[in-house]
Amino acid sequence: MFGKKKKNKQEEMAAKQAAEKAAQENVANLQESENQSASQQTQSPKENIYVMPDRFYLEENKKNNKKIFIIVGILLFVGGGTLIAGVVVYNSYRADAPPTADENFVVESTPTPTPDLVPSPTPVIIATPTPTAETDQTPTPTETPSSTPDNSDIAVTGSVDIDSDGLTLNEEKIYSTNPSRDDTDNDGFSDGEEIQNGYSPIEQGKTLSNSRLVEEYKDNRYGFSILYPTRWLLSSSDLQAGRDIVFDSKISEKIFVHALETNRTYNSVSEYVTENYPEISASSLRSFSVDEYSGVKTVDELYFFLSIDGDLSNIIVLEYKPVSEAMRSFQTTFLMMVNSFENTGL
């Protein structure tokens, strides 16, 4: 039994030794194989790589650039020649073709000169007053009053007196008063009362003649003066037997002063009125005087007829023409002008 175990142990050792030997032989064979491969790589011939010098590349680029320049030059030459040939052919065609209508107009036709246009003068219409009975002459104006646009709507809408001071809205504007206060300068007198009596409504104690609100018109031929609003227009016309002075409010309302030579004898100013103003009845006349003048006025205060010291050879007529008798914009201004009327002597 022990002899059998000993034999088995010897066999195992012999097998183990054989396996180790075989492993050693495999390792030796693998190393030898690697050495042979490395030896073959070491003994393989080297490949030589050659690089062209830079000058060869530059010369090649130069050659290519020359080719491009040559091609571009040829194209330009051919294109320019074609263009020139086209222009020559087109001009030749136009030279042989008949001229068109436009060419005839520009080249051959002579333009007709246009005569200078002279504007036609705008006719000036001068109103001729109706001759009076005492002269039977047609007055010839020497000055045409300036015309103003029709602003009758302003005259009507501005004829109201919202603060009850005796001045309409249109009058409040020309005298620079406050349309919401009846006494602008707070001196105890209403604005309209001051205007009518010749005082400034915006400066206490100052008269209108010393303010900038009015101007003075003096007539040396008939010897009188009268005040009128600074913002109004003034014009006059000389007549064969008198003179007309027009004070224009610029809103279609005017005040006139007619200085008339009667050239005949009247017993009174009233007689003059009834004979020369048939639309005015004798019953509508009232006596009136201002400064050295005396005469009559109509009840509606649209007309005042005056003479100086009973001399009826000259009659002064002050007339107010509103847009509407019921809606007057400058009644107080008209009364101010009448009250400022003065004799300055001939």
| Burial (Cβ within 10 Å: 0-12, 13-18, ≥19) of residue 244 | buried
CA distance 346 to 327: 38
Assign 248 to helix, strand or coil.
strand
Contact 300, 325 (CB under 8 A): yes
- CA 150 to chain CA centroid, nearest Å: 23
The dihedrals phi and psi of 228, each to the nearest 5 degrees, come to: -150, 155
> 234 forms bridges with which residues in the sheet?
247
Give the CA distances from residue 94 to residues 101, 103, 180, in Å, rounded to whole numbers and listed in that order: 14, 12, 86
pLDDT of residue 34: 65
Contact 154, 251 (CB under 8 A): yes
pLDDT of residue 166: 96
Q: What six digits make up the tokens of 247?
A: 């004070």
pLDDT of residue 138: 35
Torsion of CA 266, 270, 271, 273, to 10 degrees: 110
- CA 146 to chain CA centroid, nearest Å: 27
pLDDT of residue 161: 94
Q: Tokens 């090649």 map to which residue? A: 60
The pTM score is: 0.57
pLDDT by residue for the chain (346 residues), tens digit each? Answer: 545 555 566 777 777 777 777 777 776 777 776 666 655 555 544 555 555 555 555 555 556 667 787 887 788 777 777 777 676 656 655 555 444 444 443 434 444 444 443 344 444 343 434 444 333 333 333 444 444 555 556 656 788 999 999 999 999 999 999 999 999 999 999 999 999 999 999 999 999 999 999 999 999 999 999 999 999 999 999 988 899 999 999 998 999 999 999 888 899 999 999 999 999 999 999 999 999 999 999 999 999 999 987 789 999 999 999 988 888 999 999 999 999 999 998 6
CA distance 194 to 183: 9
Contact 253, 329 (CB under 8 A): yes
Assign 52 to helix, strand or coil.
coil
CA distance 108 to 114: 19
Give the number of other Cβ atoms within 10 Å of residue 289's Cβ: 11
